[in-house]
Amino acid sequence: MDRTAFGSGVRDALPVIVGIVPFGLVAGVAAVDAGFSLPQAVGLSVFVFAGAAQLATLSLVERGAPFVAVVATALAINLRMGLYSATIAPHFRKYETRWRALLSYLLIDEAFALALTAYRERDVDPRWYYLGAAGALWATWQVTTVLGVLLGTGVPDAWGLEFAVPLVFLGLLVPAIRSAPHLLAAVAAAAVAVYGAGWPFNLGLLVGTAVGVLTGLLAGAVRR
Amino acid sequence: MTTYDATTVWALVAAVGVLTFLVRFSFVGLLGRFGDVPPWAERALGFVPVAVFAALVVPAVVTVQPTVTGTLTDDRTVAAAAAAVVAWRTENVLATIAVGMAALWTLRFVLPAVV
C-alpha cells in the first residue's frame, strides 16, 4: 500500500465531502419517503453508490412508477459513467481484474474529476490515490445515508423535506447548461415531461429525455 | 400505480446496482477489446444529464393548473425559481437546497402568518 498516495487522495476529497454531505442526507430522507427501510436505504447506497440515480429511483418508487421505467431512468442517468470509464481506463490498465473491478465500482463524478486532475498534474500512484479519494467519498456517502434515514423519520411531513430532491437535481441541472444546445435540450425535455406527466409507465420522463437529447444533437449540428 | 414490497425493492436495488456497475466497468474491464466511444455517442451522452435532470425537476415543481397565474404562483414553483437563480449564480448544490427550502418554508409557514 502506498500510504502517501492514499493520504493525498483523502486530503483532496475533503472539500468535496462538504458538498456530498447534504446530498447523502437527502438520499436518506428520500429513501424514507419512498417507503424504504434502513437496510434497504443502505443497500441502495452500497450497491448503486450514485447519488442522482438513487434520488431518481427513490422519487419514481414514491410515485409508484413501474419497475422497468425506474431501472431505465437510473441507467440513463448513469450512462455518463461509461464515458468516465473510457477516459480513466488507461490509468488502470496495469492492475489485475479484481482491482479494476473495485476501482470501477467506486467510479462517481467527483472521484473521476479528482483522479484525472491529480494524474494530469502530479506523479502519484493511480490506484492508491484513487482508493483514498473515492474511498473517503464512499464512506461519507454511507454514513450520511444512515443519518438521512434517521432525520427523515423524525421530521414532520409538512416541512416538505422531499422538496430537497428536485432542488438537488436543479443544482446539478443549471450549471450543466453550458451552451445554447444544452439549454434547448433542457427546455425540450422539461416541456415533454410536464406535458406527459400523466402518461403511463412514466413515459413522460423517458420520452422527454429522448426528445431533449435529440433536440440538443440537432441544435449542436445546426450550430456547427 | 405500482407498490413496492420488500422483495421488489431488493430486486430493484440489485437491478440498478448491477447495471450501474456494468456501465462503470465497461471500458476499465474490457480494456482494448473494443475501441473508444464513437463521437456521435459522446455528443449524445453530453446531453443526457441536462435532459434527464430537466425532465425530473420541472414536473416535480410545476403542476399545470387551469390559469397561468395559478400555475406560476404554486409555492413549489416559486421556491424552485428562487433556487434556480441561486444555482445559476453560485453553481453550488448546497446553497441551492438551502435557498429553495427556505423559500418554500417562508411561503408555507411565514407568509400566511403575516398576511
B4 and B23 inside one domain:
yes
A24 and A112 inside one domain:
yes
B66 and B38 inside one domain:
no
* A148: containing domain: 3-161
Which residues lie closer than 8 Å to A178 by C-beta, 6 or more apart?
A: none
HSE of A80, CA atoms in CB hemisphere, 13 A:
20
B32 and B53 inside one domain:
no
pLDDT of residue A17: 86
* A41, A149 Cβ separation under 8 angstroms: yes
Write out chain B residues lying below 8 Å of A204, CB-based. 55, 59
Question: How many residues are present in chain A?
Answer: 224
Is residue B35 very low, low, confident or very high in pLDDT (cuts 50, 70, 90)? low
ipTM of the complex: 0.84
- Yes or no, beta carbons of B44 and A213 under 8 Å apart: yes
* B60: containing domain: 49-115
Q: pLDDT (tens digit, 9 = 90+) per residue, A85-129?
A: 887 888 898 899 999 999 999 999 889 988 988 898 889 999 999
Chain A residue closest in CA terms to B107: A159
How far is B17 from chain A, CA to nearest CA, in Å?
4
- Yes or no, beta carbons of B48 and A79 under 8 Å apart: yes
Three cell numbers at A109? 463524478
A141 and A222 inside one domain:
no
pLDDT of residue B36: 65
B69 and B104 inside one domain:
yes
pLDDT by position in tens, chain A (length 224): 899 999 999 998 887 887 788 889 999 999 999 999 999 999 999 999 999 999 999 999 998 999 999 999 999 989 888 878 887 888 898 899 999 999 999 999 889 988 988 898 889 999 999 999 999 999 999 999 999 999 988 877 777 777 888 898 898 899 889 999 999 999 999 999 999 988 876 788 889 999 999 999 999 998 77
A198 and A135 inside one domain:
no
B79 and B24 inside one domain:
no
A134 and A224 inside one domain:
no
A10 and A59 inside one domain:
yes
Answer whether residue B32 shows pLDDT above 60.
no
Q: Tell me how many domains chain A contains.
A: 2
B53 and B42 inside one domain:
no
B53 and B27 inside one domain:
no
Domain-terminating residue out of B46, B62, B79: B46
B70 and B113 inside one domain:
yes
pLDDT of residue A168: 83
Answer whether residue B1 shows pLDDT above 70.
no
B56 and B87 inside one domain:
yes
Q: Which of A96, A169, A182 to mutate to test the interface with B (most CBs of B within 10 A)?
A: A169
Q: Nearest Cβ partner of B36 from A70, A86, A166?
A: A86
A14 and A82 inside one domain:
yes
Whether B22 contacts chain A with CB within 8 A: no
pLDDT of residue B34: 55
B77 and B114 inside one domain:
yes
A115 and A17 inside one domain:
yes
Write out chain A residues lying below 8 Å of B6, CB-based. 37, 40
Is residue B33 very low, low, confident or very high in pLDDT (cuts 50, 70, 90)? low
Tell me, yes or no, whether A170 lies in a domain: no
Q: Nearest Cβ partner of B93 from A61, A168, A211?
A: A168
pTM over cut 0.90: no
Write out chain B residues lying below 8 Å of A85, CB-based. 23-28
Which residues lie closer than 8 Å to B15 by C-beta, 6 or more apart?
A: A67, A71
